[in-house]
Amino acid sequence: MEVEIKVKCDESEFDRIRQKITELGGTKANEKRQKDQYYNLPQKDLRGTREYIRVRDEGDETVLAFHRNISDGLTHEYETSVGNKEMLGIILENFGLTKLGLIDKYREKFLLNEFEICLDKVKDIGTIVEIETDGNKQNWEEKQKSCIELLTKLGLSKNKQSKEYLCDIATRK
């Protein structure tokens, strides 16, 4: 299970956040553009259900995902790499899946202890800082508190926490 917290942030704060991550012992893992195409099922409208099907194109890799949000900040994720994204699109369309929306973002990912910290510039939406770690049903609240503590160490406010998922923005009716 993934435990995460997202906060809206002004892009002008990114340099300070990068520096703080480094001071805390974090390292930059990568940076890449991600295009997330969301799909709907023919037999069930996924909009507003906290479930989504996504194909993420990262240029060098394509990932098919099904996510089920259990509660705010807690998600079951099922993901697999796909070798041929064009063929994947044909398969999904032949099963009746329809495109709902696209999220186009530039992501910088940092690693710090058990955490991934992502600085996202999302086209037509804005900038977001995401902190995530792995957890389970027994420890997710503790892990979420740890994410919030790290958020505070980075000088960000929990009050700017975003409860809206990018998949919800991409798939609005």
Please give the domain boundaries of the chain with CATH numbers for all domains. 2-164 (2.40.320.10)
Label residue 48 by pLDDT band (50, 70, 90): confident
* Nearest CA among 147, 144, 104, 102 for reference residue 129: 147
Task: Indicate the pLDDT class of residue 158, thresholds 50, 70 and 90.
Answer: confident
Position 90 scores a pLDDT of 95
Q: Closest Cα partner for 35 from 118, 163, 122, 131?
A: 122
Q: Confirm if 116 and 109 have CB atoms less than 8 A apart.
A: yes
- pLDDT value, residue 165: 55
Neighbouring residues of 96: CB distance < 8 A, sequence distance ≥ 6:
41, 42, 43
- Indicate the pLDDT class of residue 169, thresholds 50, 70 and 90: low
